[in-house]
Every structure is written in C-alpha cells, then in structure tokens.
C-alpha cells in the first residue's frame, strides 16, 4: 500500500477569528485528479494555499510523498499552483513567464535546457505561437493556457489548481477541461483541483471531495457518492438536477412524506440511530417516477414551471412535502399548473436526519446506481 501523494491531516486555520479550515483531512493518491468541490467560502482556496505553503496553519500537518512538509517553505515543496486570476507577470512576455520558476536559484537550469522545456510545454498546451507575445495582449483562454504551462514546466510532484476556469465563458471552459484531462492521461500528474462548479468537477476528476465549513463532508468517486451520499449538503451539490428532498416522518415502519407516499424502511437497509427532530427523504431525480395525479401510493404536486430545451424537457414540481426538478422522459407532456403525482420506487430513497443533515439509512450495501 503506497503512501498517498498528498496527505492533509487535521488542518486548522482562522483568519482574524473567522475559521476557514476546521480540522480538514484529505488524501490524494499518486497520479490522481482530485476535485475539491464546494461553495464559495467553504475553504477550498485555504486548503490549496496551505498545501502549497503560502499560508501559515494554526494546526494540522501537510505530508507530501510521506514526508512532513508543514514547516517547509513553498519553494521546497515541489508543488505548483495555478491561481484563479492566473497571476501572470505583466512585465514579461509569455515565454519568460513560463520560464520564470526555472530561472530561480532553486532550480538553476541552463538556458538551453530552459528553452527546450518551455518549448515542449508550450507545444503540449498549443501555445507555441504565443511565446513572444506580451501577456496583456492575450485572450482569457490563452492566458489560462500560459498559467497552466507555467505550472507544468517545472514538472512538480503535485499540481494545484484554484478555480482556474471560472473566468472563462462556457465553450472555452469545456474545451480546456477536456484538454486538461488529456494532458493528465498522457503525462501522468497528480492534481488537486478546487472549484464550485459541479459540472467542471465531474468532467475532470477521478475522485471528488465535497468541502464545506472547512471540513471534507465526503470524498470518493462520483459513483460512490451517488450510491451513498453522506448528507443533505452533498445531495444538494451533486447531480444535475441535484437531489430532491422531502419532509417526512416515521410512522409504522415507514417514512411517510408529508401528504403522500410512505416508503418502507426495510427497503432501505435499516436505520443507524433514531432521529430526534424528524427526517428528510432524499431521492435522485432520475429515480422519481412521474405518474397521473391521484394514483394510490404516490405524492401529489403541481407543475410550477417547464423547461423546454428542445432536445429534452425538464419540470419543476411543487408539492406539500417539498419541490423537485427532473428531466422528463419523452412522452410525458405536462404544462405549467398541471396537477401530477410522483412515486419513489423501492430502494431509491435515502433518509437523512433533519437536524444534522447526515444520512441515517444504511442502503444495504446496494450496487451503485
């Protein structure tokens, strides 16, 4: 069992008494792309900065390749970072920006070697034609590539990316994501990629870590997270559309949705613990079945709005227990304000404690859906 490339143990950090990291634990394996997914303020940037050594920690330790580097300067950690704003040096042209690190005392490469490496990296990112240009004349997408090239050229052990694509428009983002993935597959690097964009995270990552309030809520492959989401927070972040939640209470061995269906607890593999303040039932929208109103064993609702995208149609349904959004199967024709009903198929529901948000149903070790 090889040691993980990066191991963060119990990171604690506060900025002027406002806590940013509260005991964060994370392992990233060698040659893995790990996406750190969370809303603004969750602690993503702090995690990356701590890993790079650009901020001092109040507690916890950072281990690279099994070595404790917590007290070591950034230059000694062999980590490179691509910032959200790219942070290119405006006074240098593109090739000098890329070569910058290689010319520092820590590396002391010869000029020939530098030119060769810069050339190869530029080719990899398809910016060879921009090498002599001034940074200020580049477009957003081009600057992004230069920032990545600058980080890549040093061939670091660990590659940190802090929302590198958020400044770009949609088409550019998709293109660059695909390229990053290509580069990773061909050249094998370990990446820790922080983002608030769910689509971006899943497009690129091998494993995902959901971060909120300075700790990791859940980490794993997307399939694992789908099969066993750890909390309501995770459910709200994952999926497009994200998980649907309904208020419910336990009666007669069933979780009964307010005003509707009762889900057999047995089908969920039992509960871990008794919830104090009631429960929340979560279901992936893809699993929900829309049926005619007033069908027995279902929960009623009304169509709030329709999203007709041409190639598919999505609907928002509001009901007494909660609302959800779902892509409709072809053939179902609903209009705004129509009455309808939905059913949760057996085994599709997750139960969460309403107070803590944590999942309490055990899912019987079910196969990933």
Partner 1 sequence: MADHITVNSAPAAAVPAPRKRSSGRLMILSFLSPTLLILIFMVAYPIFSLVYYSFFNFSALRPAVAMKPVGLGNYAFLLSDPDLWQRFVFTGKFVALCVTLQMLIGIFVGYRLQKNFRGRDVIFTALMMPMMLSPVVVGFLWRYMFNSEWGVINYLATTIGLEKIDWLGQTNAALFAAAAADTWMWTPFIILLATAAFRGIPDTIYEAAEVDGASPAYTFFTITLPMSAPVLFIALILRLIDSFKQYDLFFALTGGGPGSSTETVSFAVAKTAFSYFYTGEASALAVVLLVIIIGLSMILVRHLNKMGERF
Partner 2 sequence: MAEIRLENLNIEFGAFKAVQDVNLTVKNGEFVVYLGPSGCGKTTTLRSIAGLVNATSGDIRFDGRRVNELSASERNIAMVFQFVSLYPHLKIRQNIAFPLKARGVAKAEIARKLDWVTEIFKLGDDLDRYPGALPPGARQKVALARAVIRDPAVLLLDEPLSAIDEQFREEMRWELGHLQRQLGVTTIYVTHDQREAMSLADRIVLMSDGRIVQVAEPDAMFFEPVSVFAGQFIGSPSMNLIDLVPNGDGLALGKEGGVRLTPEKDGVPPWVLKSRRPLKMGIRPLNIHLVEPQRQADGIDLPVDDVYSVGRERFFTFRIGDALCQGVDKRDAKAGGTAGRVRFLPQGFLFFDADTGRRVTGETMP
Positions touching partner 2 (CB under 8 A) are 39-40, 169-171, 174, 178, 181-182, 185, 196-197, 202-203, 222-223, 226, 239-240, 284, 286, 304-311, 314, 316, 325, 336
Q: How far is the CB of 7 from partner 2 (least distance, A)?
A: 25
Q: What's the closest the beta carbon of residue 335 comes to partner 2, in angstroms?
A: 9
Q: How far is the CB of 246 from partner 1 (least distance, A)?
A: 40
C-alpha 189/C-alpha 115 separation (Å) is 22
The partner in contact with residue 25, picked from partner 1, partner 2, none with C-beta cut-offs of 5 to 8 angstroms by kind, is: none
Q: Considering the complex, what minimum distance in angstroms separates the CB of residue 125 from partner 1? A: 11
Interacting positions 120-179 with partner 1 (CB under 8 A): 120-121, 124, 152, 154-157
Q: Which does 72 bind (CB under 5 to 8 A by kind): partner 1, partner 2, none?
A: partner 1
Q: Supply 311's token pair.
A: 């190639």
The pairs formed by 2-6 with CB atoms below 8 angstroms and a separation of 24 or more are 2/29, 2/30, 3/63, 3/65, 3/66, 4/28, 4/29, 4/30, 5/29, 5/30, 5/31, 5/32, 5/64, 5/65, 5/157, 5/158, 5/190, 6/51, 6/62, 6/63, 6/64, 6/158, 6/190, 6/192
How far CA 244 is from CA of 235, 270, 318, 324, in Å, comes to 8, 21, 11, 5
- Phi, psi for residue 258 in degrees, rounded to 5: -55, 115
Which of 75/308 has CB closer to partner 2? 308
User: Quick one: which of 15, 75, 139, 297 contacts partner 1 (CB under 8 A)?
Assistant: 75
Binding interface with partner 1 (CB under 8 A)? 30-31, 53, 56, 69, 71-73, 75-76, 78, 106-107, 120-121, 124, 152, 154-157, 186-189
């Amino acid at each position: 069992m090889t040691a993980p490339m990066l191991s963060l143990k119990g990171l604690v950090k506060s900025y002027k008494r406002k806590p940013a990291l509260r005991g964060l634990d994370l392992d990233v394996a060698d040659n893995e792309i790990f996406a750190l997914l969370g809303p603004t303020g969750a602690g993503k940037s702090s995690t990356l900065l701590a890993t790079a050594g650009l901020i001092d920690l109040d507690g916890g330790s950072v281990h690279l390749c099994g070595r404790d580097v917590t007290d070591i300067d950034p230059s000694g950690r062999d980590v490179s970072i691509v910032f959200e704003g790219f942070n290119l040096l405006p006074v240098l042209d593109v090739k000098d920006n890329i070569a910058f690190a290689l010319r520092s005392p820590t590396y002391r490469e010869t000029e020939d070697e530098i030119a060769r490496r810069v050339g190869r990296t530029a080719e990899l990112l398809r910016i060879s034609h921009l090498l002599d240009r001034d940074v200020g004349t580049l477009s957003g997408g081009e600057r992004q590539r230069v920032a990545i090239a600058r980080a890549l050229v040093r061939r670091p052990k660990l590659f940190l990316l802090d929302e590198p694509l958020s400044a770009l428009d949609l088409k550019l983002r998709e293109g660059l994501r695909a390229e990053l993935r290509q580069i990773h597959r061909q050249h094998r690097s370990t990446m820790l990629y922080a983002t608030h964009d769910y689509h971006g995270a899943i497009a690129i990552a091998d494993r995902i870590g959901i971060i909120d309030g300075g700790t990791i809520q859940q980490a794993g492959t997307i399939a694992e997270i789908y099969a066993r989401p750890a909390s309501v927070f995770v459910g709200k972040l994952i999926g497009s559309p994200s998980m649907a939640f309904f208020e419910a209470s336990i009666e007669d061995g069933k979780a009964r949705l307010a005003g509707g269906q009762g889900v057999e607890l047995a089908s969920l593999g039992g509960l871990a613990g008794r919830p104090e303040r009631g429960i929340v039932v979560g279901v992936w929208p893809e699993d929900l079945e829309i049926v005619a109103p007033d069908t027995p064993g279902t929960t009623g609702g009304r169509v709030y709005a329709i999203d007709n995208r041409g190639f598919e149609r999505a609907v928002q349904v509001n009901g007494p227990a909660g609302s959800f959004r779902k892509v409709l199967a072809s053939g179902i024709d609903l209009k705004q304000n129509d009455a309808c009903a939905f059913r949760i198929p057996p085994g599709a529901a997750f139960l969460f404690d309403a107070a803590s948000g944590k999942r309490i149903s055990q899912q019987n070790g079910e196969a990933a859906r």
